[in-house]
Structure 1
Amino acid sequence: MVTRTAQGILLAALICYLGITLLNLLSLSLGAYDLTRAVVCLASVFLLQLAHSAPGFAAARTRTKVVTLTAQGVLSYLPFIWFGAYWGAMDGFFAGSLLLVLPAAAGWTLYATTSLSMIIPGVLAHRGAVDTVYLVQTTALTGLVVYGLSRLTNLVDQLTRARADLARLAVSHEQLRFARDLHDLLGYSLSAISLKNELVRRLIPTNPYRACEEVDEVLVISRQALADVRRVASGYRQMSLASELSCAESVLAAADVSVTVEAEDAIDGLGLVTSTVLATVVREGVTNLLRHSKASHCWISARIEGDAVRLTIANDGLVVSSHPRSPHSGSGLGSLERRLKDIGGRLLVQRLPDGAERTLFRLTARAPVQEHDATALTTHMITDGETPRPGRADTVV
């Protein structure tokens, strides 16, 4: 709608200039042949001007520009032989086209030359200084109006396209957010449900009472997964780091992984966003452990260090000779990095050699205790309090 309005204004202005020139020519009481010749020239100049004012014409081939500008130049100056100064407004169209089609330096130089060239018809027609200056000024003004309205139309068209692109980017960003949240939430929940069901299957013959307890936990996890999906769909999610640590301990124990959790009571006072992001780190770390490692022990710690909280998840199950990950296996660590970066935090991934076949894997996340401290934290580097040992690979994700 806005683009059509701008195009309509440009078209109306061009038609008005053509109408003024036609009225001037009609005042000469031209014959049928001369009038037909004038109308043909006016229509040709009008069509050429529409082409030069069209969005994207400046990117046309050089040969096309030369041909159309030459044609408009001939049709702008040749009718002066027949109609004299009454044809003057059409030279302003040509001046505007020079600004639209040519590079800035050449365009403005030829625009000024074209405007000043109107001195010649005024002198040849023995017009006074006032009329001659009027011809020059009218040509310059017409060129600026044509150039300004054409550029405005082009800019409106570009703005409309840019708005459409931004809308598509917003949709794509929301799709990525939705996919990321589903990966972070359901990956953990489904892995936990699968492990719990395997444990229940083993316990039914020997310990039915314990199996019933595990089934109750499966129901709790499944209900939580459903609630998480609903929160993702509404774009709102709150998670507690303390509750996620407790849940991770239960899930790892069910998977026969010995787990040690050390968490300070102060983590209950974390900001909502920080707690949610770090809880997501716990979920992703535990999910990766269950899916991509053969860990026998896992260490999880959460400590307050000044105005920041440090979360560490380590396990002894990274297999050095494991096959490379599939390109469709997800992007959990990249997602965690973006989440932490958004609140002023950092993520550190470390692989520590610990034998011929296995190696220790440690994931460290550092974030501000409260969200308003996120800006100050961006300058902090994540360190583990140790001097790197030879053969150790540290990667900041």
Structure 2
Amino acid sequence: MVTKTARGILLAALICYLGITFLNLLSQSLGAYDLARAVFCLAVVFLLQLAHSAPGFSKARTRTKVMTLTAQGLFSFLPLIWFGVYWGAMAGFFAGSLLLVLPTRAGWTLYGATSLSMVVPAVLAGRGAIDVVYLVQTTALTGLVVYGLSRLSGLVDQLTKARAELARLAVSQEQLRFSRDLHDLLGYSLSAISLKNELVRRLIPTNPYRACEEVDDVLVISRQALADVRRVASGYREMSLVSELSSAESVLAAADVSVTVDAHDTIEGLGLMTSTALATVLRESVTNLLRHSKASQCWISAQVKDGVVRLTIANDGLVVGSHPRSPHSGSGLGNLERRLEDIGGRLFTRRLTDDFDVDRFELTAEAPLREHVPTARRIAEELQPKGRTDHVA
């Protein structure tokens, strides 16, 4: 709508200038042949000006620009021989086209030369100094109006395309957030449910009471998974690192993995985004441990020092001959790295060998105690429709 309005204003201005020139010619009581010739020249100049004022014409081939400018120049100056200074406004169109099509220095130089060239027909017509100045000034003003309105129309067109691209990127970002949250949240929950069900199946014949307790845990995890799906769908999700530490201990213990947790008390004072990001890191790490390792021991450490929270998860289940995956190589760790980068944090992975030649895998996440929302995130939040509380992940 805005683009059509800008183009409409430009079109109206061009038609008004053409109308003024046509009325000036009518005042000269031209014959039918001369009047038809004038209308034809006006139509050609109008069409050429529309082409030069079109967005993107400056990127046309050089040959095309030379041909159209030459044609407009001929139809702008040759009619001066037949109609005199009453045709002068069309030179202003040509001056505006020079500014639109040519490089800056050449365009302004020829624009000035075109405006000053109107001294010649005025002097040949025997006009006084005031008429000469008026004709030069009118040509210069017409050129500026044509140039300004054409550029405005082009800028509005660019703005419209930029807004459409921002909308497309926002949709793409939302799709990425949705898939990332589903991966990070449900991967852990579904792995835990599967593990617990296998444990229940083994316990039913020998320890029905313990099996019932594990079934209760499965119900709790299932309800949490359902709640997570609803939060992802609504675009809002908070997670607590303290709660995830307790959940990780329970799940790993059910998988017969010995867990050692060293968490500083101050992690309870984490910022919302930091707590959510680190809790997601812990979930993904436990999920990967259950799926891709043969761990018998796991060490989890969460410490705060100099305003930075360091979460470390290590296990002894790295398969011999394998290599730690890069944060860039898979969707899980890649998602974690991007989440931490969003709040100014970092993610490290490495392979260790202890004194007993046992291969260990260690993942370390660092994040500020109180995160600062990056500029890109703040802009994205401002672009979101009012009334929503989507987190840009």
TM-score by length of 1: 0.90
> Offset of 1:340 from its aligned partner?
2.0
Query: Residues 112 and 357 of structure 1: is their aligned pair in 2 closer, same or farther, counting only changes over 3 Å?
Result: farther
Matched, 1:217 2:217: yes
Query: Residues 144 and 320 of structure 1: is their aligned pair in 2 closer, same or farther, counting only changes over 3 Å?
Result: farther
> Offset of 1:326 from its aligned partner?
12
Distance in structure 1 (CA, Å) of the matches to 2:361 and 2:313: 8
Q: Deviations over 1:14-59 (max 9, x none)?
A: 0000000000000000000000000000001000100110111111
Matched, 1:178 2:178: yes
- Paired residue for 1:138? 138
Is the 8 Å Cα contact of residues 323 and 351 (structure 2) preserved in structure 1?
A: no
- What SS does the aligned partner of 1:29 have? coil
Distance in structure 1 (CA, Å) of the matches to 2:53 and 2:211: 78
Bigger mean CA offset, 220-229 vs 356-365? 356-365
> Offset of 1:357 from its aligned partner?
8.9
Matched, 1:122 2:122: yes
- What amino acid is the match of 2:175? Q
- Paired residue for 1:104? 104
Bigger mean CA offset, 327-336 vs 96-105? 327-336
Distance in structure 1 (CA, Å) of the matches to 2:60 and 2:308: 57
Q: Deviations over 1:79-130 (max 9, x none)?
A: 0110000000001000101111111111111111111110110111111111
Matched, 1:277 2:277: yes
Distance in structure 1 (CA, Å) of the matches to 2:356 and 2:107: 73
Bigger mean CA offset, 221-230 vs 346-355? 346-355
Query: Residues 330 and 47 of structure 1: is their aligned pair in 2 closer, same or farther, counting only changes over 3 Å?
Result: same
Distance in structure 2 (CA, Å) of the matches to 1:192 and 1:100: 65
Unmatched tracts of structure 2, length 5 or more: 376-393
> Offset of 1:321 from its aligned partner?
2.4
Distance in structure 2 (CA, Å) of the matches to 1:126 and 1:4: 44
Query: Residues 227 and 90 of structure 1: is their aligned pair in 2 closer, same or farther, counting only changes over 3 Å?
Result: same
- Paired residue for 2:196? 196
Distance in structure 2 (CA, Å) of the matches to 1:331 and 1:65: 50
Is the 8 Å Cα contact of residues 21 and 89 (structure 1) preserved in structure 2?
A: yes
- What SS does the aligned partner of 1:43 have? helix
Q: How does 1:26-41 map to 2 (within 5 A)?
A: 26-41=26-41
- What amino acid is the match of 1:6? A
- Paired residue for 2:79? 79
- Paired residue for 1:227? 227
Unmatched tracts of structure 1, length 5 or more: 376-397
Query: Residues 201 and 46 of structure 1: is their aligned pair in 2 closer, same or farther, counting only changes over 3 Å?
Result: same
Matched, 1:46 2:56: no
> Offset of 1:371 from its aligned partner?
3.3
Is the 8 Å Cα contact of residues 352 and 359 (structure 2) preserved in structure 1?
A: yes
Q: How does 1:1-397 map to 2 (within 5 A)?
A: 1-322=1-322, 330-354=330-354, 359-371=359-371
Distance in structure 2 (CA, Å) of the matches to 1:373 and 1:85: 64
- What amino acid is the match of 1:4? K
Distance in structure 2 (CA, Å) of the matches to 1:126 and 1:251: 100
Q: Deviations over 1:154-211 (max 9, x none)?
A: 0000000000000111111111111111111001101111111111111111111111
Query: Residues 15 and 308 of structure 1: is their aligned pair in 2 closer, same or farther, counting only changes over 3 Å?
Result: same
Distance in structure 1 (CA, Å) of the matches to 2:9 and 2:165: 25
Distance in structure 2 (CA, Å) of the matches to 1:12 and 1:39: 18
> Offset of 1:335 from its aligned partner?
1.8
- Paired residue for 1:391? none
Distance in structure 2 (CA, Å) of the matches to 1:3 and 1:142: 22
Is the 8 Å Cα contact of residues 337 and 346 (structure 1) preserved in structure 2?
A: yes
- What amino acid is the match of 1:264? H
TM-score by length of 2: 0.90
Distance in structure 1 (CA, Å) of the matches to 2:343 and 2:278: 11
- What SS does the aligned partner of 2:175 have? helix
Q: Deviations over 1:327-384 (max 9, x none)?
A: 9994222222222222232222121135999621111122233336999xxxxxxxxx
> Offset of 1:257 from its aligned partner?
1.7
Distance in structure 2 (CA, Å) of the matches to 1:241 and 1:324: 24
Distance in structure 1 (CA, Å) of the matches to 2:246 and 2:111: 76
Distance in structure 2 (CA, Å) of the matches to 1:136 and 1:349: 73
Identity across matched positions, percent: 81
Bigger mean CA offset, 37-46 vs 342-351? 342-351
Q: Deviations over 1:290-347 (max 9, x none)?
A: 1222212110111222423221100112224249989999422222222222223222
Distance in structure 1 (CA, Å) of the matches to 2:303 and 2:356: 32
- Paired residue for 1:386? none
- What amino acid is the match of 1:321? G
Query: Residues 90 and 369 of structure 1: is their aligned pair in 2 closer, same or farther, counting only changes over 3 Å?
Result: same
For the aligned residue pairs, the C-alpha RMSD in angstroms reads 2.3
- What SS does the aligned partner of 1:371 have? coil
Distance in structure 2 (CA, Å) of the matches to 1:86 and 1:300: 88
For these two proteins, the number of residue pairs brought into alignment is 375
